[in-house]
Structure 1
Amino acid sequence: MIPRPSTVEPDRGGFRLTPATTLSAAPGLERAAAWLRATLGPATGCFLPPGDDIWLSVDRSLPDEGYRLRITADGVDLTGGTPAGVFHGLQSLLQVLPPEVYRRAPVTGVDWLLPAVTVDDAPRWPWRGCMLDVARHFMPKADVLRFVDLLSVHKLNVLHLHLTDDQGWRLPIPGYPRLVEIATWRHGTMRGSRQHGVVDDRPHGGYYTADDLREIVAYAADRHITVVPEVDLPGHMQAAVAAYPQLGNGLADVDVRTGWGISPHVLNVSDAALDFCRAVIDELCAIFPGRYIGIGGDECPKDEWKASPAAQDRMRELGLPDETALQAWFVGQVAGHIAGHGRTVHGWDEILEGGAPGGALIAAWRGPEAAVRAVRAGHHVVSCPDMWTYLDYRQSDAPDEPIPVGTRLSVADVYTFDPVPPGLTLAEAGLVLGAQCNVWTEHLPSARAVDYATFPRLAAFAEVMWSGPAEGFTSRLARHLDRLDALGVEYRPPGGPHPWQRRPDAQGFPKTRAQREEEIRAMLGAPFMQ
């Protein structure tokens, strides 16, 4: 199984599924039972009418997301600490069966035998996430729902949706119709790494309606995945400024950005800009019921504020010493509005600069040192250092790797990841909630490309987060690839890309680890921590 369970005790014999096999579930597990019937039935023909062959129940003495699965010749008994634990146990139940169980039409010639086994299992970390960037390249709703299913197969429990950026805005906000009319699409797209400056003339865009987003949230919730929305501010806002120039600093006319990299065009610090941000937060809180609301806060150049008389007046009015403090004030204003909704700010580790809002959850991406700084400032942390968790980074040094950017990040590299940086005390380590892998999509224009970048590296990440590294992962992964095949995932083959997965028309910009360490050192002003 992937991720590897905590304990597995095989026994002799097993239980064979047939169309006569039955299922019953304790109160509160009706949706889990419905999910199993809908998932198991198409391939096996076993749609599990009511009865006692398979029994689902909850035992609150088990860990919240833990479960106990017992398969004998008499049937299946699955108990979870919560409904989430039951659902994770159902994912393990499917993995006990042949990989063909994941196909969506009748499969013949397969013995649907569940081998006798007892599995006791629970995750190491409460936050096991994946960020999906739908701003750089829009992913249609159906593909997002499929991505949610793939996360659930791997027992991940957070989907962080990066909904806005310089290159596109993906949701409507009441009172700001030009976001949908203008900010959701761009005139062209950079092909390959930004260092080469090649931009096509093909329009790209799309957005989710509020009902689309509510559907994604509900679909994920059925799979015990929390959706954390992110609208990045006050930087990475060129698309919004293109739609509403009065939100910018009045120093340039801008369109939705067609190239990658960091835009110099950021929000101004006026009351109107804050009102806009509050309207955005109101809508996010209306759609997304989870505790955390993402505001980004990363990569916000200060040049426009330095050149803006209005921004300088605001600094003097507030008695702020510099533009870093101005950003911290702006983020604090938005955080206060989020707190008024009873929610908690989620931001990238740059919001530590100038002082992060109290209680903020920090996504630490700029190396292990960023996580250390966050916990020592008293914040909870989700670790996501780029050289271990950025799944858009190149997977090998081979010349046929499509659009090779960043440092090499192979399956084996991901499997070495530890969410807790070295040198933390036990109390400091306790502030680390877990980790997430990040799927940035500058170079991933389709669901096929996302498949290639994400899998099978996400399987390695999922195991690290659920149970930790262990011997035998490579052989288990080989078996797991059969499941991905049945699920229709166009993953990267172990031997390298298929011809159609290559991108000879788009150049990359690979870096060595030493080069990336030097860049992070410069950003943080501190030695890089291994």
Structure 2
Amino acid sequence: MKKTLLVCLISIGSFAQNAISIIPKPESITQGKGKFTINSATQIVVESNNTEARDVAEQLAIRLKIVSNKPIDIGSANGNNKIVFSKDQTIEKEGYNLKVTPTGVTIAASNPIGHFYGLQTLLQLFPSQILSSSTQPNLSLTLSECTIKDKPRFEYRGIMMDVGRYFYPVEFIKKLVDVIAFHKLNTLHLHLTEDQGWRIEIKKYPKLTEIGSVRKESMLGHHRDQKYDGKPHGGFYTQDQIRDLVTYAQRKYVTIVPEIEMPGHALAAIASYPELGCTGEQYEVGTEWGVEERVFCPNEKTFEFLENVLTEVIDLFPSQYIHIGGDECPKIAWKNSQFCQDLMKKEGLKDEHELQSYFIRRIDKFVSSKGRKIIGWDEILEGGLSPNATVMSWRGVDGGIAAAKQKHDVIMSPNSHMYLDYYQGSASSEPLAIGGFLPIEKTYSFEPFAPELTAEESKYIKGVQANLWTEYISKPEHAEYMLFPRALATAEIGWSSKEKNFEDFSKRMTKHFERLDQLAVNYSKAFYSVAFSTSKNSLNQPLVSLSSNDKNGIIRYTMDGTKPNEKSLVYSDAKKITIDGDRTIAAAYFTKSGQMLGAPTMKSYVISKSTGKTYSLSKEPKKYNGGEKYALTNGIRGENNSNDPWVGFQGENFDFTMDFGQKTFFNTVSVGFQGAYASWIMPPKNIEIFVSDDNKTFKSIKKMELGSAVKKENFVQQLNISVGNSNARYLKIVAENYGKLPEDHPGKGSPAWLFVDEVSVK
């Protein structure tokens, strides 16, 4: 039986039929000159040997019905003017071949997953209004002739959503499934348990949701502010809701991976059942973000509890992987527990890191007995890696490299590129975030394969994942803002070839924003933010260059920090901005019609006797170089919420020597240091100022001990050091690195980072 699809063929907008813009980028596209238009006679056909693709075909039929308000059946008609789902066993699992000719469309795949991904590409060949949730009576469903061959680069392509800090409704999670599936991401990792909330119903332990799912209040602003809203926050997913969500995701070929945190980040569980802790004390569900010292005790009650919990979790989630966390577990509770110390002696464990490995191994053995595999954050490497564990490498890529060399599967998820809770634009103009700076171009630049790995070892790199932690993200619209468009970059890293070009991606993404609009995604426009770079002229004055990812518009700016408008100064590369005194530049991207896209970016320049001067460092930074060759004397001071302008040294002292060019009088030296405990960034122990006239013999003129007190909040320490009336050609500054991270730090014993910015001399 056939029904017809009636579509009005009046073209809308300025859709460029010849511009094929797809994210993630397919393996190959060959364009022809013809067109195919869906009309009243067009049929959707599932070949007789391909009945398993019927569900995917029905998804297309539903989409076409929504925009046309006319039904269409799935048929098996011969002839032309049809969209055919055909079977080709030579195409690998998630791959597809899509062909548009003047007489119809064919999507060939070996299984329904490939057909589903072919359908997502087909939808991107239409005008963006094909994704609308309402009827589009004037929509032209015309496709350009083309042949697309495509398959993914990595088997695991994921997004992590933290629902432990803040509970998110099922409707939002389903929308997230829809959007990531549209971009060929195939894994949604749900972080279900935390210190601040337990979000999944466990029948055997009702107190987990009665007590553990609700905290009495939440933090307001950043951790350093120590303010609270005084309002209870709670919520959890029933087992029926989980089953429904899993089924929904399966239809979109998205696997939901549950995470039950252990042995750390477990305070909500311990507050529900105090016997799971090392003291048996009654605690409250956590209200403060950060690393919690109260962790699971590795006793038999805890293992019985976790095995029972995981049994119910495994029954709910058919995923191959079960994520067990394993990160940020301070060992102080175990050090103070006689039980733990006795257990270590009994099991021959040399330290608490090996005790954590013992903990993870027991859980690994249990999960493996159920036919599943554990994933853990890279801390599970410490003390020895459990036999069947997959490592999710978040503290850079080193954990992933180490695991791959040990022949363990790896998901690359480094915080440097894949932590989507970091700011993606200027902190002053962005919604609240945890800190850091991660623009989409940096996410896009990530390459999961490490050059340190051999070809054989690289086979253990199974994919990539971006993570959204929600300490500062309480609402779905804010979560969408942080996820998109950076999740699009993640999708392309996981799916497309290694040879990527950000300029090409940018052009496709500006078109893709129209699709996100149709999907009602509250994406960030920080892509349009103006970037600053600084050089200098012959007078050592800073010369500021401005740029934006989109080259089709205009950059306008002000010199007094006021918000630019459509009449503000127009920037030109031919005439860079000269900074001849203290200035605050505010710049923004405008379309040619005068609309500002994104928020203004501001930079304050402080001019001193050191501005524009050259310098040398005894140890060159390996990772954080401030973005410019002479970032420490470019006149820009580092900000609290961005790592971008800072120069960082891991485990090394800051040893800086600057040449004034001639003997110069000065009496004050100013240096900025950053403190970010959770990011392993610690202020220096001391700082010493030296002078010299020959760059060989240096004289100390001031030394300051800065103490060893540890602040857990983020801050900038601006030291203004009076050095009396000094007159010298060379200035040397040495700041001693904090050294090894302290005992109660989750990175205990690892080298601390020292972050420095802007040396100002007056």
User: Which TM class, normalised by the smaller chain length?
Assistant: over 0.9
What letter matches 2:55 in structure 1?
Answer: R
2:522 to 490, 494, 505: 490
Q: Structure 2: how far apart are the matches of 1:508 and 1:46?
A: 55
1:43 to 67, 89, 97: 67
Contact kept in structure 1, 2:132 and 2:519, CA below 8 Å:
yes
Report the counterpart of residue 11 of structure 1 in structure 2. Answer: 32
Report the counterpart of residue 317 of structure 1 in structure 2. Answer: 346
2:231 to 188, 202, 209: 202
Contact kept in structure 2, 1:18 and 1:45, CA below 8 Å:
no
Q: Which SS does the other structure have where 1:38 is aligned? A: helix
Q: Structure 2: how far apart are the matches of 1:116 and 1:500?
A: 35
What letter matches 1:239 in structure 2?
Answer: A
Q: Structure 2: how far apart are the matches of 1:508 and 1:137?
A: 25
What letter matches 2:519 in structure 1?
Answer: L
Q: Mark the CA change 1:131 to 1:404 in structure 2 (over 3 Å): closer, same or farther.
A: closer
**Higher Cα Rg, which structure:** 2
Q: Which SS does the other structure have where 1:354 is aligned? A: coil
Q: Which SS does the other structure have where 1:448 is aligned? A: helix
Q: Mark the CA change 1:256 to 1:92 in structure 2 (over 3 Å): closer, same or farther.
A: same
Q: Mark the CA change 1:441 to 1:19 in structure 2 (over 3 Å): closer, same or farther.
A: farther
- What is the 5 A alignment of 1:155-304? 155-250=184-279, 252-304=281-333
Q: Which SS does the other structure have where 1:338 is aligned? A: helix
Deviation track 1:423-470 (CA, whole Å, cap 9, x = no partner) reads 211111111001111111111111100110011111112112211423
Deviation track 1:471-530 (CA, whole Å, cap 9, x = no partner) reads 51111100000000010001111346999999xxxx9844446559675696484799xx
1:67 to 83, 93, 96: 96
* Structure 2 residue 149 is the aligned partner of structure 1 residue 128: no
Q: Structure 1: how far apart are the matches of 2:409 and 2:313?
A: 22
The higher-RCO structure (CA 8 Å, 6+ apart) is 1
Q: Which SS does the other structure have where 2:228 is aligned? A: coil
**5+ long unaligned stretches in structure 1:** none
**5+ long unaligned stretches in structure 2:** 1-21, 530-587, 589-595, 601-638, 652-678, 682-740, 742-746, 754-762
Q: Structure 1: how far apart are the matches of 2:490 and 2:353?
A: 34
What letter matches 1:28 in structure 2?
Answer: E
Please identify, of 492-501 and 97-106, the stretch whose mean Cα deviation from structure 2 is larger: 492-501
Report the counterpart of residue 402 of structure 1 in structure 2. Answer: 431
Q: Mark the CA change 1:516 to 1:157 in structure 2 (over 3 Å): closer, same or farther.
A: farther
2:57 to 33, 51, 67: 33
Q: Structure 2: how far apart are the matches of 1:233 and 1:458?
A: 27
Using the size of structure 2 for normalisation, the TM-score is: 0.66
Report the counterpart of residue 88 of structure 1 in structure 2. Answer: 117
Contact kept in structure 1, 2:31 and 2:145, CA below 8 Å:
yes
> By how many angstroms is 1:174 displaced?
2.3
Contact kept in structure 2, 1:371 and 1:421, CA below 8 Å:
no
Q: Structure 2: how far apart are the matches of 1:91 and 1:501?
A: 31
Q: Mark the CA change 1:433 to 1:8 in structure 2 (over 3 Å): closer, same or farther.
A: same
Q: Mark the CA change 1:253 to 1:514 in structure 2 (over 3 Å): closer, same or farther.
A: farther
Q: Structure 2: how far apart are the matches of 1:353 and 1:46?
A: 60
1:414 to 443, 462, 474: 443
Report the counterpart of residue 479 of structure 1 in structure 2. Answer: 511
What letter matches 1:174 in structure 2?
Answer: K
1:22 to 30, 37, 43: 43
Q: Structure 1: how far apart are the matches of 2:410 and 2:58?
A: 35
Contact kept in structure 1, 2:52 and 2:111, CA below 8 Å:
no
Q: Structure 1: how far apart are the matches of 2:649 and 2:60?
A: 45
2:452 to 407, 413, 423: 423
> By how many angstroms is 1:41 displaced?
2.0
Q: Structure 1: how far apart are the matches of 2:649 and 2:144?
A: 47
Report the counterpart of residue 722 of structure 2 in structure 1. Answer: none
Instruction: Indicate the structure with greater strand content.
Output: 2
Contact kept in structure 2, 1:367 and 1:520, CA below 8 Å:
no
Q: Mark the CA change 1:516 to 1:56 in structure 2 (over 3 Å): closer, same or farther.
A: farther
Please identify, of 428-437 and 74-83, the stretch whose mean Cα deviation from structure 2 is larger: 74-83
Contact kept in structure 2, 1:193 and 1:509, CA below 8 Å:
no
Q: Structure 1: how far apart are the matches of 2:649 and 2:128?
A: 39
1:54 to 78, 83, 92: 83
Deviation track 1:58-88 (CA, whole Å, cap 9, x = no partner) reads 2121121110001112111101132111100
Deviation track 1:94-115 (CA, whole Å, cap 9, x = no partner) reads 0000001111110122211122
What letter matches 1:382 in structure 2?
Answer: I
Contact kept in structure 1, 2:464 and 2:490, CA below 8 Å:
no
What letter matches 2:151 in structure 1?
Answer: A
Q: Structure 2: how far apart are the matches of 1:320 and 1:74?
A: 70
What letter matches 1:86 in structure 2?
Answer: H
Q: Mark the CA change 1:101 to 1:123 in structure 2 (over 3 Å): closer, same or farther.
A: same
Q: Structure 2: how far apart are the matches of 1:516 and 1:192?
A: 29
Using the size of structure 1 for normalisation, the TM-score is: 0.94
Report the counterpart of residue 333 of structure 1 in structure 2. Answer: 362
Q: Mark the CA change 1:405 to 1:385 in structure 2 (over 3 Å): closer, same or farther.
A: same
What letter matches 1:160 in structure 2?
Answer: H
Please identify, of 179-188 and 73-82, the stretch whose mean Cα deviation from structure 2 is larger: 73-82
Contact kept in structure 1, 2:57 and 2:74, CA below 8 Å:
no
What letter matches 2:495 in structure 1?
Answer: W
Please identify, of 187-196 and 11-20, the stretch whose mean Cα deviation from structure 2 is larger: 11-20
What letter matches 1:259 in structure 2?
Answer: E
Structure 1 residue runs of 4 or more that deviate by more than 6 Å after TM superposition: 497-502
> By how many angstroms is 1:38 displaced?
2.1
Contact kept in structure 1, 2:434 and 2:471, CA below 8 Å:
no
Contact kept in structure 2, 1:131 and 1:159, CA below 8 Å:
yes
Q: Structure 2: how far apart are the matches of 1:140 and 1:508?
A: 33
Contact kept in structure 2, 1:406 and 1:510, CA below 8 Å:
yes
What letter matches 1:15 in structure 2?
Answer: F
How many aligned positions are there?
A: 524
Deviation track 1:279-335 (CA, whole Å, cap 9, x = no partner) reads 111011101112111100111111011111222222222222211111111111111
Q: Mark the CA change 1:500 to 1:137 in structure 2 (over 3 Å): closer, same or farther.
A: farther
Contact kept in structure 2, 1:235 and 1:300, CA below 8 Å:
yes
Deviation track 1:215-258 (CA, whole Å, cap 9, x = no partner) reads 11111111111111110101000000111111111175421111
Q: Structure 1: how far apart are the matches of 2:69 and 2:40?
A: 6
Contact kept in structure 1, 2:368 and 2:388, CA below 8 Å:
no
Deviation track 1:122-151 (CA, whole Å, cap 9, x = no partner) reads 111111111111111111111000000010
Contact kept in structure 1, 2:326 and 2:376, CA below 8 Å:
yes
Q: Mark the CA change 1:151 to 1:294 in structure 2 (over 3 Å): closer, same or farther.
A: same
> By how many angstroms is 1:156 displaced?
0.4
Contact kept in structure 2, 1:402 and 1:501, CA below 8 Å:
no
Please identify, of 53-62 and 295-304, the stretch whose mean Cα deviation from structure 2 is larger: 53-62
> By how many angstroms is 1:50 displaced?
2.8
Contact kept in structure 1, 2:96 and 2:149, CA below 8 Å:
yes
Instruction: Indicate the structure with greater helix content.
Output: 1
Q: Structure 2: how far apart are the matches of 1:128 and 1:105?
A: 30
Q: Mark the CA change 1:145 to 1:508 in structure 2 (over 3 Å): closer, same or farther.
A: farther
